[in-house]
Amino acid sequence: MDLGIAGRWAIVCAASKGLGKGCATALAREGVNLVINARGIDTLEETAVYLRTLHPAIEVRCVAGDVSRDDIRHALLIACPQVDILVNNAGGPPPGDFRNWTREDWLNAIEINMLTPIELIKATVDGMAERGFGRVVTITSSAVKAPIDILGLSNGARSGLTGFVAGLARQPRLAEQNVTLNNLLPGSFDTERLQKTIQSSSQATGKSQEAIADQRLQGIPARRFGTAEEFGAVCAFLCSVHASYMTGQNVLLDGGAYPGTF
């Protein structure tokens, strides 16, 4: 299927590895020009080199730095001639017990996993509406639908973001101007973050990493972890011309782990 977005420009945040890289990869294959971001410049530039090999006509620009910083977001917006597609992403907050979290821990989580995407949405959706095309895909987590006890900072901040996006997607002059806002909710995907989570559970419990991974797989009807490539393919579809009538949705990608009917 031709997704109809060749020649468009996208900002993909937190895209040097993992799910963000999966999204950038799928968009690059469709001929979308990219501005990609991550804090570590070396891996970011390696990813840019890889993305340029995927399509002969695309341009890939890098903006290194923490996306929760105003100056980095500003640099992302300056680097992108026109933002047709925005993929919001960043690292997740650390796990822990809410009894140990300080006000500062909460403010950090809200800053990165709620206010940062809201600032980027604010800076881009009106221009998208004026041009009659826009796609915002925000990577959140399956924890928005089924909270994970040790990820209270993520459950809280991302749920706030989800509520905001749900309201914004229905505001006047967005959907009617072909601007859609949807969230992608990853379950367990085989990325560096997942491997680190498995390693720390192994250290905390004394169980082997294989045993921890196997235990997690028992809760996933697909009996495997997702791949960044398949995550990116769904993102690219949401960014396509075919998804114009889909907005304000939370799309769960979890191999069937969430047990609810809806």
| Per-residue interface string for the shown chain with ligand NAP, residues 186-205, x marking contact by CB under 6 A | x-xx-xxxx-----------
**Identity of the residue, 145 or 193, whose beta carbon is nearer to ligand NAP in the bound complex:** 193
Phi, psi dihedral angles at 161 (to 5 degrees): -60, -40
When asked if residue 17 is in the footprint of ligand NAP (CB under 6 A), the reply is: yes
Looking at the DSSP bridge assignments, the partners of residue 18 are none
Gap between the Cα atoms of 108 and 190, Å rounded: 26
Question: By C-alpha distance, which of 144, 35, 39 is closest to 86?
Answer: 35
Contact segment (CB under 6 A) with ligand NAP among 54-62, 63-71, 96-104, 201-209 equals 63-71
Gap between the Cα atoms of 164 and 172, Å rounded: 15
**DSSP string of 40-72, one letter each residue:** -HHHHHHHHHHHHTT-TT--EEEEES-TTSHHH
Q: Please state the closest distance from residue 51 (CB atom) to ligand NAP, in A.
A: 13
Going 238 to 93 to 104 to 14, the CA torsion angle's sign is negative
Q: Please state the closest distance from residue 135 (CB atom) to ligand NAP, in A.
A: 18
Q: Please state the closest distance from residue 148 (CB atom) to ligand NAP, in A.
A: 9
When asked if residue 159 is in the footprint of ligand NAP (CB under 6 A), the reply is: no
Q: Please state the closest distance from residue 106 (CB atom) to ligand NAP, in A.
A: 16
Q: Please state the closest distance from residue 154 (CB atom) to ligand NAP, in A.
A: 6
Residues near ligand NAP (CB under 6 A) are: 14, 16-20, 37-40, 43, 66-68, 89-92, 112, 139, 141, 186, 188-189, 191-194
